[in-house]
Amino acid sequence: MEIRKVQRVGHSTMTVSLPNEWVKEHGIKPSDLLFIMPERDGSLKIMPRHIAQREEAEEYIVNADACDEPGMLERIIVGSYILGRDVIRVTSTSRIAKAHIDEVRRIVQKLIGLGILEETPKSILLQCSIDATKFKLDMLIRRLALIASTILSEAMQGFREKNYDLVEEAIAREDEADKIYYLAVRLLLSAQLKPATAEEVGMVDVIFIPAARLILQYLELVADYSEDLAREVLEMEVYRNRLPEKVVDRIFHLSELTQTIFQKSIECVFTRDLKVANQLLEMRKTIEIDSNRLMREAPEIPYIRSILSCLSKIADKGATIAEIAINRALEDPSKYAEDVVRAVKHVRSLPMTIGKG
């Protein structure tokens, strides 16, 4: 580490000289441009033009010829997008196969901000134009939760009312859930790597970042399970009239309880309400008992048990999110959490003779 004195030049300008070895190493000459980036800790990052340009838009090459299995190219593009890569070039030594072109075009529709900038027989250039400052991670988490909840509610409403157009609308929403999920994970990983980005997207609590990644994963799974449930509802359309309305009502009631666990668990993450989160975990036990009973008592009609299984999986994810909410409440306790902690400490300090009569 070198120490250099700040010098005044003119009335309002202050300067610091650059270390000679660093200037030689990077070939800095008079009139060259240097890029200065303020860091969250108050320091300044100084970069020569070639490093700044590489950081801003480094091009990542994906060899399509090596992607010889179905879906492989699509998953590599998704992974590159999530890792924050803004410029991705798909190449081939001869000609990009039609199957690969289809994969690229299909996945671009699911990645917010990513578009095809250039396309030739041997190369496809993708570029992402996301402005991280326009998004807040808590908003994306809430948005993804709302989409997943809507898929579930529309699927169950369609099941109850025999409205299969509504069920198909629910299925179509899953693509929107994927878009929000991929974008949120991209921003979350950027927040881990760049403190300035973390502040821009509202993720200043570094302890919460791993938990936020888990929550996003669970929300995406809830959307998937809800889509699976909707497809099961469509499949059982020909059997629907054989199902007693009493059983329909019981299944629908289970779905409402499942929705309650799922929706309120997300709220608890942000409100840090330890008491409500605990109530949701107790509610999960009730749902499990009722679901198991209904599994045994429901008539032997195809897809009924698959629907119940999907509801059980969603309730499980909601309960896990409630557990994360409890952990978060204890990291920065609310008044209620503090009262609980004090009560526990007080009980532990009582004499061992209590209860002996």
Averaged pLDDT for residues 66-76: 94
169-174 — which CB contacts under 8 Å span 24+ positions? 170/226, 170/227, 170/230, 171/227, 171/230, 171/231, 171/234, 173/147, 173/223, 174/223, 174/224, 174/226, 174/227
Span 178-190, average pLDDT: 93
Tokens of 324: 């994360």
- Under the banding of pLDDT at 50, 70 and 90, the label for residue 351 is very low
* Percent of the chain predicted with pLDDT > 90: 64
Predicted confidence band at 352 (pLDDT cuts at 50, 70, 90)?
very low
Give the range among 45-59, 128-142, 232-246 with minimum mean pLDDT. Answer: 45-59
Kindly provide the b/e burial profile for residues 199-209, where b requires at least 16 CB atoms within 10 angstroms of the residue's own CB: ebbebeeeebb
* Residue 274 tokens, joined: 């330890």
Residue 286's pLDDT is: 93
Q: How many CB atoms lie within 10 A of CB 103?
A: 23
Give all domains of the chain, ordered by start, each with its CATH number: 57-128 (3.30.110.60), 133-332 (1.20.58.220)
Q: What is the pLDDT of residue 3?
A: 82
Please state the rounded mean pLDDT for residues 6-16: 80
123-167 pLDDT, tens per residue? 999 999 887 778 899 999 999 999 999 999 999 999 999 999 999
* DSSP string for residues in 110-162: TSTTEEEEEEETTEEEEEE---GGG--HHHHHHHHHHHHHHHHHHHHHHHHHT
Q: Pick the residue with more confidence: 172 or 55? A: 172
**What is the overall mean pLDDT for the chain?**
87
51 against 320, higher pLDDT: 320
Rounded to the nearest 10 degrees, how much is the dihedral formed by the CA atoms of 91, 94, 100, 106?
A: 60
Q: 160: closest CA among 220, 236, 97?
A: 236
Q: What is the pTM of this model?
A: 0.78
pLDDT(50) > 70: no
